[in-house]
Amino acid sequence: MCRLLQLKRASSYFCSVILFIQGMHYLRNSLTIIFLMVGHLCLTAQTNMDNPFANGEPIGTVFANFYTGINQGNNPSAFEVRRAYLGYKFNISEHYSSKIQLDIGSPDDVSQYSLLRRFAYFKEANLQYKNGKVTAKFGIIPLQQFKLQENIWGHRYIYESVLDEHGLGSSADLGASINYKITPFLELDLTLMNGEGYSKLQADYSYKTGLGFTLRPWKGLIWRNYVDAIQKQETLLTIVNFIGYEIQDKLYAGVEYDFKVNDDFEKDQNINVFSAYLSYNFNKKLQVFGRYDILSSNTINGEDTPWNLYEDGSAIIAGIQYTPVKKVKLALNYQDWVPYAKNLDSEAYIFLNVEFKVW
């Protein structure tokens, strides 16, 4: 009975959060109504004592930071709340579960004005079926090639994974996926998706198909290869190659080399990215981490410079993370970007990043 009351209170609190979101100007009325209905259904479902598998919990995570530039001259400095995730996950039965999550943030962090705007999108809204070796998802689903790297990198609140950060795809999309665990060491996954990302609706008849395998030859080692393709005027290919290593609660390391062929469906416009990252835990509260990224593009026949020169460059992220309590992370870190174009200036910043969970 106490457990039931706690769940009811959590669900009621979640509905209050939804009501607060309703008053914010950037949410359309229809979106708010849908979320209110979902919150009500979650609250009602908690009272269903006939189903021993029925249970759920709210989700709430916030990314915030303070930064200051350390280049010569006039350096920018600001406090920011970059992103907030609000949602709910619910076990429907032994094999079925669902998850709905809002991503509240800026859809275009490149623009200097983007931090003044906040939009809410469904980052996840899916039904999952899991039975033995098979896991299937339908709806707005997280994509495995992003999730695996994010887990090894482990600092999404500081810096996105290399695929997300440099625009080689979206971390979630509308579609369906199936994962089959052939052996304890080998998994295959197939995804059919919209191809436009979770913040856009399908507006044409082109779909992206992804195929990947994950190999764990021995404890701690992860080897993943993945390819997806979508065809319009040209075929856009994304190929992901990743090796990760983890010693539980101590060391996490990852190396990946990814490339995109015919970017923006333009023939011979290719992008290559390399990323290496390492985290080491001294204890449960203190960790050091570092990462190095390289983004480069090819030179098209007849041209003198790479086609994407003004976006090409390298980045370094390094810092120390402190976890005072279970649901709070603080990280003091250095971030820089060194462009390959000689007429562009390098950027260097000191950040204090914070991640906290509200449930």
- Model pLDDT, residue 331: 98
Task: Tell the CATH superfamily of the 143-359 domain.
Answer: Porin (2.40.160.10)
DSSP 93-115: SSSEEEEEEEEEE-S-TTSTTGG
296 vs 187, 237, 291, 293, CA distance in Å? 31, 16, 17, 10
pLDDT tier, 22 (very low <50, low <70, confident <90, very high otherwise)? very low
- Model pLDDT, residue 41: 53
AA identity, residue 308 = N
- Quick one: 171 exposed, middle or buried, by C-beta within 10 A (0-12, 13-18, 19+)? buried
CB 45 within 8 A of CB 58: no
Q: Is the C-alpha dihedral spanning 169, 172, 175, 177 positive or negative? A: positive
Residue 260 has pLDDT above 50, yes or no: yes
Rounded-to-integer distance, Cα 158 and Cα 180, Å: 32
- Model pLDDT, residue 2: 44
Rounded-to-integer distance, Cα 38 and Cα 29, Å: 14
Rounded-to-integer distance, Cα 167 and Cα 282, Å: 33
Rounded-to-integer distance, Cα 126 and Cα 176, Å: 9
- Model pLDDT, residue 39: 54
- Model pLDDT, residue 42: 52
Higher pLDDT pick, 358 / 153: 153
- Average pLDDT of the chain? 83
- Model pLDDT, residue 321: 98
- Model pLDDT, residue 164: 86
| Locus of tokens 């995109």 | 260
Both tokens of residue 352?
Answer: 């204090």
pLDDT tier, 342 (very low <50, low <70, confident <90, very high otherwise)? very high
Strand partners, 335: 317, 349
User: CB neighbours of 169 closer than 8 A, spacing ≥ 6?
Assistant: 143, 145, 146, 163, 197, 228, 238
Interhelix angle 2-22/29-46, nearest 10 degrees:
170
Point out the least confidently predicted range of 109-118, 129-138, 168-177, 235-244. Answer: 109-118
Rounded-to-integer distance, Cα 346 and Cα 262, Å: 28
- Model pLDDT, residue 122: 80
pLDDT tier, 148 (very low <50, low <70, confident <90, very high otherwise)? confident
- Model pLDDT, residue 234: 92
pTM: 0.81
Residue 239 has pLDDT above 90, yes or no: yes
- Residue extents of the structural domains in the chain: 143-359
Range ranked top by mean pLDDT from 29-38, 201-210, 224-233: 224-233
Strand partners, 31: none
- Model pLDDT, residue 28: 46
3-state secondary structure of 262: coil
Residue 32 has pLDDT above 70, yes or no: no
First to last CA, the chain: 20
Backbone angles phi, psi at 162, to 5 degrees: -60, -35
